[in-house]
Structures are given as structure tokens and as C-alpha cells.
Structure 1
Amino acid sequence: MPTAQPHGSWTSPIDAALAASHDGRPEYTGPVGDELWCTEPRPAEAGRRALVRRTADGTTTELPAPWDVRSRVIEYGGQPWAGTERAEGGPLVVFVHFADQRLYAYEPDGDREPWPLTPVSAVGGGLRWTDPRLHPDRGAAGEVWCVLEEFTGEAPTALRRVLAAVPLDGSAAEDRSAVRELSDGRHRFVTGPEVSPDGRRAAWIGWDHPRMPWDGTEVLVAEIGDDGTFHGARAVAGGPEESVPQVQWTADGQLLLASDRSGWWNLCRLDPDTGDTTELCPREEEFAGPLWKIGLVWFRPLDNGLIAVLHGKGTTTLGILDPESCELVDIAGPWTEWVPTLTVRGSRVTGVAASPHSGYEIVELDTATGHTRIIGAPHEDAVDPAYYPEPVLRTFTGPGGREIHAQIYPPRNPEHSGPEGELPPYVVWAHGGPTGHAALVLDLEIAYFTSRGIGVAEVNYGGSAGYGRAYRDRLREQWGVVDVEDCAAVAGTLAAEGTADPDRLAIRGGSAGGWTSAASLTGTDVYACGTIIYPILDLAGWGTDETHDFESQYLESLVGPLAEVPERYRERSPVGRTDRLTVPFLLLQGEDDPICPPVQCERFLAAVEGRGIPHAYRTYPGEGHGFRRATTMIDALESELSLYAQVFGFDRPDVATLELKR
């Protein structure tokens, strides 16, 4: 029989160290012959990403520390490695090392340490690479074709991006001039070149400021000359109001692409010569998503003409599409979220997926037999699953009757229940992006709170991905309004219906979610406190020179053109509304964050100083945008719990008391 105990004070086996050890997921799966490679997180090793090799017999090895396989192109990175099998000497792999952003070559069956292929630049952020493709038959010793991001000055926006060819013989390791540029730089942003099966054409995606890739992109096709140069690049699809986040060649020289021209990212087949386009499976579902990283993969053609696709509305699943009949057969299994990193090897399709009761694992579907199995990072219950929350998918009603999608995680613990008549506190989680999505998966950070008697409401507010373009566009020029209203509507409904204690509501979020949290605390009276994590707090600063190039003009659509509506930037910024702040808050910030730098927090704190608002500011050296180190995540979670304990009035002797300054 569960023991009645105040919500928030329940004992739980899910501590912060356990939650931190399960943070992150496998990413960037890819084939090297019959082997499967990917990157995996190592929170206990200062948050590095390990390059992991799985051979056909199931043996697993990894490129050891200090190698950290992660690109910084557009700061969010992208596909950081590529590999090929060889007749002799075993596989050859190239990868980006996070520390210096150089491209390295690696022979896993040899006895040689990885060696650099690209030089270091002293200009600005240097030279960076992502989305590589190995072409061992190009040039004298073979080449890597990829995206080059090159800084031309010290400012975060002083840079250029082109498609480039890096020689595999190492001749460019100290010589930038040995890197061959393939594209003409007409677009500010590009993805890596997809080469047609006959080797005669390349296709890629490009876009420019002020658009983000979910606003509008172009698909470009160029002829590849005998000397490996690109000629006659031309746009064949997309446009300023049409987003195409992925393009792929078919075996017969057609292009597969995902376009949202219908209002949903649906699959099309395009003849690059005539421009004729065929919709393959029109549905009010998403067959792709926002291109936050370069080289994301939502679909892959199979050798038999079928197409492996990730699709859904809100949640996602893996299906096999017959493009001729529009028949779509979905995989059997519990998974509700698939990472856009599909790999095809013959009849086998591999992806990374999670469910409300399992973390991210590597799943393989054999399309010849229909058999599914877990081949990597298998979920193992670290505690009794009775301590995991049981989420409920709900649709709430917001201002004007608009729909708001959310996942509600009530408190759950087999040993405890709340006292009769006591409603639990709830924390509203606002996801980042804001063109992002809160996935319906097992998250031990959520379980950390729910197993202690604190409910969590993850809100996919207007502007979130996964529900079509019209839902995404709700946030256009309304950031700080729609997201704040939607989160408040969910919190208010939970309180009104008797699910949550109306006096013990909090809000938390990171990045754009940190903005929504701060904007909510300075713009509503719904919450008793909040946790603000590596946030945007000053729109005018962030929209000029206080962030990276990729998002430097994002506010033009989220808020409006700065030159035309400067007062809107001032009025909505939490830094200018601290006089409305009346409740305690916790501010968490990485000291090395180039996207939301500490100066934003420091300016906010200066405006709060002397107002008597209880608050704490925790900073973490070596952390950027998104915490990766186990020590950081433990401190951040325990600090957050201590904030809630002090504000909501329950005891937590198992965590250090967070000192709140006034």
C-alpha cells in the first residue's frame, strides 16, 4: 500500500546521477559495407561523442577518447562522419573532431592514429566541415565532398559556406588552397551534395537569410564534369515559401524530396530534366521535419523501389512506402519517436527510436521478412518501470479556440501517494527551437520529478513542428505571445480541472524554451517560480550580434523586422520587463555558449538586482548550448529540485539547498 506523503517529498531511486547517465541518444547512423556505425553520447567523459562501430558479427568497438566526433557547422552541427569499405586494409572513415573542427581520416583496422585532412584557420571560428561523402575514385588519391563553413572575420556572422572537395592524401592538412570548392557560394546555407547513381549530377539544398530552412529552401542540381567540377547549377524545386529539408536520388535518376507546399511535409518525386512532380502519398502528416542540423534523414529509397519513411502527426513511426500505389505499411512495435537518421543496407532499414517506456535504441527492420530487432543501445530498465511516468497525450483549447498539443506526466511512484485532498505541483516544460517538438518518449529527467510527486506538462505550443505548416506559422511575429499564452492555457486548465495545484505551478525551458519561461514569468501571474536555462532574454541584443549566424535573423519572422518594429523587441524582452517579475527563479548557463551567450543572463540579472526577487544563477565552464557533462546535469537537476522544494514547501534533504539571493 503506497504511503501518503506530501507531493515533492517522495523518495525515488531515480536520482540526478542516474538521469544524467541516460542523457543523449545515438545519432548519425550509417553503413560502412555491412557494418553499422554511429555516434553515441558519453556524459561521464566530459560529454564527448564517441564514434561507434558495429560489425556484422555484432562486435562493438569505438574510437576512444580524446576523439570527440561532432561538427560545429551552424553551431548545431550535422552529419560528422562518413565511411567506405575497401578491398584491402579494412574500412576508411573520415570524421570531424570537435576540439579543432578539422576533418580526420581513420583506418580502424590499422595501427595508425587518425590523421588530419584539413588545416586550422586562425580567422574567427576557423574552418568547419559537415555532411561528408567519400569519393575514393575522385582525384589522384580520392576526395571527401562536404560542406565547408569558413570564417572570414571575427564576427559570428563573418563567414561563408560552400560545397568543397578535400583530398584524402592529406595534402590539404596544412594548405587551405588544396581544398577544391565545388559550389559558387550563391546561398548562405547549403547541405552536402547528393551524387546521382550515374555520377553525373549532384543535388543539394540551399537557403538564405532571413529565411530559416523550415520557411523556404531551394533544391539545386548541377552537372559534374569529368574533372569533378560542378557546372550549370540550377534550382529545380522549392522557393521562398516552400520548405524542402531533404533530397535523395532514386536508382533511375529521379529526385525524391519532402516538400511542404501542401501545408505538410509530404514526399514527391521530381524529374530534374522536365520539372514534372508527382506526389507519392499525400496526407495530413509530416514525412520530414525542421532542418536544425545538416544531413538529417527522414527517408531512404530501397533497392527494390520501395521507400523507408519516418512519418506521423505529433508522434512518428517508421513505414515502408510503395511509391506507385501509395500503400504505406508501418513497423510493429512500441516506438513513438524516431530520430531523422535512417540507414538502408540491402533489405535492412536501421533507425534510432524511443517510446514512453524505453530510451533511444538502434532498431533494425528487415523488409524481406518483416522482422524487427534491437541491434544497439538496447533499453535496460535502471529501476522498476513502476517509477516511470505514464504520459497522456492531450489537446487543450487556447485563446480564440485554437488547439494546443501537450503531453501530461502525472506524478507516479509505487511507494507513495499524495495526502488526501492535496493536489500535486506541476512544472510546464517549454521546448527549445521554438520550431522544435517535445517528443513522447521516456525521459529520466521527467521521471526524476514525477517519481518525487511533481507533475510535468510538456507543451507543443503554437509554432511547434509535427502538426503542419499552419501550426508552425502561428508563431510568426508572435513569439513571446502565442507560446506564452499556450503554456499558460495548459497550466490553467490543469489547475481548473483539479489535476494541478493552482498555487504550485512552475515553468522551465532551455534556449527558446528559456525565453518562453522568462517571458511567462515577466508577463503572466500563472507561475509561482521558474527555471530558465541558457535563454534568450534580450531580443535586440540577440537579434544583432549576440548569437551565431544561423539564427541571427530568425527574429525577423518570429518577432518582425527589427528596423520596422523596434518597440516590439523592447516590449517583449524579459530584460526590459523585470519590474513585472515577482516570483523566484533559477538561471542556468553554460559559460561557452555561442548561441545564447552569458551576456544575456548577466544583463537580466543586472536589471533584477536590488528588487528583492529570490533567485540563483549557476554557470558551468566548458558547457555550450545544451548541457553534455554528467556533473553539470546533476548539479542543474538538483538545483532545480531545491528551488521547487523551497517555493512549493516540501522537504528534500537528499539535495543541497540552493542559495537564493535577493
Structure 2
Amino acid sequence: MSPEQVVLPYSTWPSPISTSGVARSGLRLGFPTTLGDEVWWTEDRPTEGGRTTIVHRSADGTHHELLAAPWSARTRVHEYGGRSYAVVPGEGVVFTNFGDQRIYLLAPGAEPRPITPEPELRAGLRYAEMTVHDGLIWCVQERHHPDGRVSRSIVSIPLHGEAEPRERVSGSDFYASLTISPDGEHLAFVCWNHPRMPWNGTELRVTRLSDGSSWTVKGGSAESVLAPQWRDERHLYLISDWSGWWNLYQVEIHGTASQALYPVEEEFAGPLWQLGALPYAVLADGSLAVLHGQGDLRLGVFDPGSGVLSDLDVPYDGWDPVLATDGHSLVAIGYGPTLPRSIVRVDTMTGQVEELRRDVDVLPDTAYLPRPQAVEIEGRFGRPVHAFVYPPSNPQARGEGAPPYVVFVHGGPTGHSTSALDLEKAFFTSRGIGVLDLNYGGSTGYGRAYRERLRRQWGVVDVEDSVAAAEWLAGKGLADPERIAIRGGSAGGWTVMAACCASSAFAGGVSYYGVSSLLPFNETTHDFESRYVEWLVGPADPALYGSREPLGRVAGVTCPMLLLQGLSDPVVPPAQSQAFADALAERGVPCTYLTFEGEAHGFRRAETRSAALATELAFYQQIFRA
């Protein structure tokens, strides 16, 4: 305790981290590409309606924003999108424009020129994960039919001219990770079908381009295979969870000689929510730059010949699974508790890093930033539950007694939280509100068995683990048991509502665009997740769903709630939040329901994020009686 600190009520401490500062930060740096000394990546513009631009860093180190407003390089394939551009050496970039979802070629000094045709339905043909090979753009195409059906295929599109996309592979519900062999004779890709999600079971398939014949190389209904890359013309690297962990493998293109290259109880990849992620990279000397670990992923170099994996000594604690290389230069997105997500160039021989771009331009004094502590909580039946604890941190103020805490619940639910610097968390901790970021059972990063705890148990295991987290905070004396709240978005919003229905452990709940009712959700959500609930809860059954969903158990809610919702959300439609708010109002439970025009699934506009954060803080100050 510093003698300069004054005693102030928790949640009212003075902080330099403002709502507008948080809202304007978070550029969502993504999907780097590197060729020699040049680097490209995507950036969001929160102050420009949340659009996404492409940034080019030239060999002399200058940065150029390639897309001016209103252009936005963002694909809606699977609604979660992914890699939306590809570099065409010497000719510029091709990208998917958010408004109409057509592919455009942006040549140096020119205006974007459309390459794909205007679809029958606006934005009815969508493209993602583009790669350019021999004058053709290869990508995943998603077609929205007038009758509401959605189909997908792998197509090739001439870079020049006005030819229609040529269908190369079809027949599966979903495609990802397409890659062409070095000799140009084969196409490898990952595919899967309803009702599976890509972390449940996928297949790695290869198509001979000369005659279109295809075969399965690895994978199936109970094995998740991800991210194939060519070792040579006859062999592929890949990630598979056949052992129970997403590990690195090598296989011959006809499925023979499958070999686990580094079997270990660690993950080498994350869940395939977005297309185009690359969790490892093949270097020119035959070694692999890999990400691996439990929870946060470390960066290392793996030598397939010797079987040795050596971690690089770098100042970043974790990395996003979007590595980029031209064989020699490695570019990645690293982060740490006090280091914002950053585009960095890494020398894989020495570990030397060069920071190219930060997600946050100006950081507050690090004394206002919390230092996360990874903890393991004992859940129900002795189950270990993973979390990060962020205590209140402020050099000017301190409180008396145990502070209030908020349990953060991530979305997905098949996803996970990391220890990356997050100014949104620091906004609260610097004001005297602690945060516990929960990786409940069902989260990724800790193996398939941990992930599958949530199978048919959504609304049970996630709720039990959330309650266990609150009880752990109170039992350890870290939090005032009367002042623990819970907040989450999307699937995390479901858990917030379900936990407030089932337990009195929380003083209040905050749901961002959460799911409250399963049958309407199944009928109205987008195709990618339209069968997800079958795995999470079970086949459609009104009795089962009613016993599990928050709307069916709303009578158990006794604490105040705050619901926030985008009115253009295609994933969790506004009716989900509206129905829960109406049910609370009928029972006289205090509830604030705040909606935002033009916002979809995940708020992108600076003004929306600022307003939501200010409202959330005011809600906590009220329920914590600051």
C-alpha cells in the first residue's frame, strides 16, 4: 500500500481509463501476410462505424491504409467471417467487401474493381479464405438461396476477366483451410457436415485437380482435424485431436503413414470459429513455427527431423493462431498482461522481435493495469476449473474490506479467455472492481475431455462452474460475497441468465446479446450454428429445453439484471433479449434493457461500446451500493 493512496469506496476510484478510451481502442488486428520486407494485416475502425480496413507496411517501414471509407474488408461467411483478403504480388490485393460481399481487386493507385458477379440476393454470394495461385483466386463460397437454404463449395475465380466462379469441390455443408500442393496438382481442405461443429469432427480431404477425384486422408465424426499444410508434393502437416489434444501430425496424401510429430498434453490450435487462421507455419529450412500450450499459447520452433521443440525467448506471453510466413520472415500477433495485441516480426533463429503495430496506441500507466493470476478452482465433484484473476489495481486509491468482483463468462461457448491485456477489464479493476475471467468446463485450451464436459450439459456445467468461481472468490477472502456479479456475451450471456436463474450467488447479472430460449434460437439463428444446440443440450424437446433455458427458469431470478442487444444481430436475434426482459418485468425483477440500432453480434462502433460500458459501470455501482 502506497502512502499516496486514499481510501475510497470500491467502484468509484479515479481512473485515467475512460469509456471513450476503451471504445476507441481495440483495433482487432488480424490475419497478417508477409512477403519479404512487406507486411499486410486487417484493422478495425471503431470511430468509423466499426469498418475493417487493410494496412500495408512497405519495406521502408511506412504504413498505408489501403481502403478508405466506406469500403470494409470483412466477410460474412459463417457470419463469424475470417480472412477476407489475399495479396496478389505486384498487382495489389483482393478482398471481400462487407456491404455486398463481392470480391474486389484493389490495384495500386486504382479504385476497387469487382471480380465476382452481382448475386441474385444482395450479399447472397459470400467468399472467404482466399488464396491466389496461377492467376486464379481459390476460396470458400457461401451461397444464400431465395428459399432460405445455404450451401457452400470451394471455387476458383479468374483474377482478370469476368468469368463466373468455377465450382471445384461441393457436397459437404462446410469447408475450411484450403491449400494447393507445391506442384499444383492437388487441393487439400477440411470439411464437415451438420450437426457437427468443427471442434466435434472434421475430415481432411484431398482432391486431384486434373480429374476432380477426392478422398479422405484423416479425420471423422469424433476427430477434429484442422489446418493442413503441405510438407512436399506427397505429404501434409495437420493438427488433430485424435489423442485428446490438438497436436501436430504428418500424413501421406492417401492417408498412410500418419505420424504424431510431438505428442503432448498441450494444444497446438484453437477452435475454428473464423476461416483462415494459421496456428503454425512451414519455414524455408523445413522447420515449423508452432504455437502450443494450455490456455495461452507459446511460440516455438519445431524441427521435424530431430523432434525437438524450442520455445523462443520473446516478451509476449501468448499469441493469436494467425501466423504468417513467406518461408523466411515470420509475422504474428503477440500479447501480454501489460502488452496490447501487436503485429510483430520474429526472427526465428534469435527470437528477436520487431513491433510493427499495436492494438492500442496509447496505454495508461501500467500501475493501473491488473496482473492476471492463473488459478485452478475446485468445481462440483472435484472437477478442476481454470480461470484468470484480476485484482483491483490503482496507485491512487484503495478500499476497505474485500472488494466487489465480476465473474466474466466468455462466449462460444466453445472458446476460451486468455491473459491478454484488455482495457475493458482494466476499466473496472482500476476503479476498484476485481475481475475473475472464467474458462468453465467446455472451454478450449485444455484438451478435448475438458471441452466435452459441456456436451449435453450447457446450462448445467457452465452454471455450476460460474457459481463455484463466485464461492471460491468469497471463500478465499478475495471478494465480498454480497458483491459478486456475473457478466458475459452471446453464449456467455446465456450462462449469465441461467446462473441468475439457478443461484443466489450473484448480486446482479449483465448479458450482452445472450441466448434465452432454445427453440426460437434454433429457428432463427444462422446456418453455421443452427444444429449446435443438439450437441450442447440435445435434440429439440420442449420439456428438455424448457428445463434448461433461462426463459423457462426465469422465476428463479431475484437479482437485478442489465441486458444489452444489437438490433441487427443475425446470430442471436433481439427477440432473445426482449423475451427475457419482458419476463423479468412481469415478475417485478429490476431489469434495464438497452438496444443499439445497426449493431450486430459483437459491438463494433465506438459510440456503442462507450455507452454500453458506462451503463455497465453505473449498474455495478448501484448493485454494489457504492
Shared fold, TM over 0.5: yes
Match of 1:164 in 2: 155
Match of 1:485 in 2: 464
What SS does the corresponding residue of 1:358 show, helix, strand or coil?
A: coil
What SS does the corresponding residue of 1:7 show, helix, strand or coil?
A: coil
Match of 1:180 in 2: 166
Displacement of 1:42: 1.1
Match of 1:348 in 2: 329
Aligned counterparts of 1:154 and 1:448: Cα–Cα separation in 2: 46
Match of 1:80 in 2: 84
Match of 1:46 in 2: 49
- Which letter does structure 2 place at the counterpart of 1:636? A
Match of 2:496 in 1: 517
1:464 pairs, out of 425, 443, 450, with 443
Displacement of 1:326: 1.6
Match of 1:405 in 2: 386
User: Which residues in structure 2 correspond to 1:599-618 (within 5 Å)?
Assistant: 599-618=575-594
Match of 2:543 in 1: 567
What SS does the corresponding residue of 1:520 show, helix, strand or coil?
A: helix
Aligned counterparts of 1:192 and 1:367: Cα–Cα separation in 2: 24
User: Which residues in structure 2 correspond to 1:170-569 (within 5 Å)?
Assistant: 170-172=161-163, 178-183=164-169, 185-225=170-210, 231-273=212-254, 275-377=256-358, 381-419=362-400, 422-543=401-522, 545-562=523-540, 565-569=541-545
Aligned counterparts of 1:291 and 1:632: Cα–Cα separation in 2: 28
Work out the percentage of aligned pairs sharing the same amino acid. 46
Residues 1:149 and 2:129 are matched in the alignment: no
CA contact (8 A) 2:189 2:228 kept: yes
Aligned counterparts of 2:458 and 2:317: Cα–Cα separation in 1: 28
What SS does the corresponding residue of 1:578 show, helix, strand or coil?
A: helix
CA contact (8 A) 1:547 1:595 kept: yes
CA contact (8 A) 1:153 1:159 kept: no
1:419-448 Cα deviation digits (max 9, x unpaired) = 2xx211100000000010111111000000
Displacement of 1:24: 4.0
Displacement of 1:32: 4.4
Match of 2:40 in 1: 37
CA contact (8 A) 2:337 2:421 kept: yes
Bigger mean CA deviation after superposition, 511-520 or 187-196: 187-196
Displacement of 1:131: 0.5
CA contact (8 A) 1:197 1:253 kept: no
- Which letter does structure 2 place at the counterpart of 1:620? F
Displacement of 1:125: 5.2
Residues 1:587 and 2:587 are matched in the alignment: no
Aligned counterparts of 1:520 and 1:617: Cα–Cα separation in 2: 18
Displacement of 1:312: 0.7
Displacement of 1:599: 1.0
Distance 1:378 1:148, change over 3 A: closer
Aligned counterparts of 2:600 and 2:432: Cα–Cα separation in 1: 31
Displacement of 1:501: 0.5
1:629 pairs, out of 584, 596, 605, with 605
1:149-205 Cα deviation digits (max 9, x unpaired) = 0011353xx110000111222414xxxxx221111x221000152100011111000
Distance 1:527 1:154, change over 3 A: farther
Residues 1:16 and 2:13 are matched in the alignment: no
TM-score w.r.t. the length of structure 2 is 0.97
Displacement of 1:370: 3.6
Bigger mean CA deviation after superposition, 120-129 or 327-336: 120-129
CA contact (8 A) 1:358 1:379 kept: no
1:483-502 Cα deviation digits (max 9, x unpaired) = 01101101101112211011
What SS does the corresponding residue of 2:59 show, helix, strand or coil?
A: coil
Match of 1:639 in 2: 615
Match of 1:659 in 2: none
Q: Could you tell me which runs of 5 or more consecutive residues in structure 2 were left unpaired when the two chains were aligned.
A: none
Aligned counterparts of 1:203 and 1:612: Cα–Cα separation in 2: 57
RMSD of Structure 2 on Structure 1 (CA): 1.4
What SS does the corresponding residue of 1:359 show, helix, strand or coil?
A: coil
Displacement of 1:34: 4.0
Aligned counterparts of 1:253 and 1:28: Cα–Cα separation in 2: 28
Aligned counterparts of 1:346 and 1:273: Cα–Cα separation in 2: 26
Aligned counterparts of 1:171 and 1:257: Cα–Cα separation in 2: 35
What SS does the corresponding residue of 2:238 show, helix, strand or coil?
A: strand
Aligned counterparts of 1:449 and 1:379: Cα–Cα separation in 2: 18
Distance 1:85 1:454, change over 3 A: same
What SS does the corresponding residue of 1:449 show, helix, strand or coil?
A: helix
1:262-321 Cα deviation digits (max 9, x unpaired) = 000000010113521111111100011110011111011111110011111111111100
Displacement of 1:6: 1.0
Match of 1:126 in 2: 124
Aligned counterparts of 1:235 and 1:189: Cα–Cα separation in 2: 15
Bigger mean CA deviation after superposition, 520-529 or 30-39: 30-39
Distance 1:464 1:617, change over 3 A: same
Displacement of 1:257: 0.3
What SS does the corresponding residue of 2:469 show, helix, strand or coil?
A: helix
1:200-254 Cα deviation digits (max 9, x unpaired) = 11100000011000000000101112xxxx5111111010000012111113531
CA contact (8 A) 1:20 1:633 kept: yes
CA contact (8 A) 2:101 2:123 kept: no
User: Which residues in structure 2 correspond to 1:82-97 (within 5 Å)?
Assistant: 82-86=86-90, 91-97=91-97
Aligned counterparts of 1:62 and 1:208: Cα–Cα separation in 2: 38
CA contact (8 A) 2:177 2:228 kept: no
Displacement of 1:369: 3.9
Distance 1:334 1:83, change over 3 A: same
CA contact (8 A) 1:33 1:85 kept: no
Aligned counterparts of 1:378 and 1:41: Cα–Cα separation in 2: 10
Aligned counterparts of 2:161 and 2:595: Cα–Cα separation in 1: 40
Aligned counterparts of 1:395 and 1:223: Cα–Cα separation in 2: 48
Match of 1:57 in 2: 60
Distance 1:390 1:33, change over 3 A: closer
Displacement of 1:21: 1.6
- Which letter does structure 1 place at the counterpart of 2:326? R
Bigger mean CA deviation after superposition, 373-382 or 216-225: 373-382
- Which letter does structure 2 place at the counterpart of 1:475? L
Q: How many residues align?
A: 622
- Which letter does structure 2 place at the counterpart of 1:458? D
Aligned counterparts of 2:463 and 2:477: Cα–Cα separation in 1: 22
Displacement of 1:350: 1.0
What SS does the corresponding residue of 2:188 show, helix, strand or coil?
A: strand
CA contact (8 A) 1:33 1:84 kept: no
Q: Could you tell me which runs of 5 or more consecutive residues in structure 1 were left unpaired when the two chains were aligned.
A: 173-177, 651-662
- Which letter does structure 1 place at the counterpart of 2:16? P
What SS does the corresponding residue of 1:462 show, helix, strand or coil?
A: coil
1:436-489 Cα deviation digits (max 9, x unpaired) = 011111100000000000000000000000000000000000000000110110
CA contact (8 A) 2:457 2:536 kept: yes
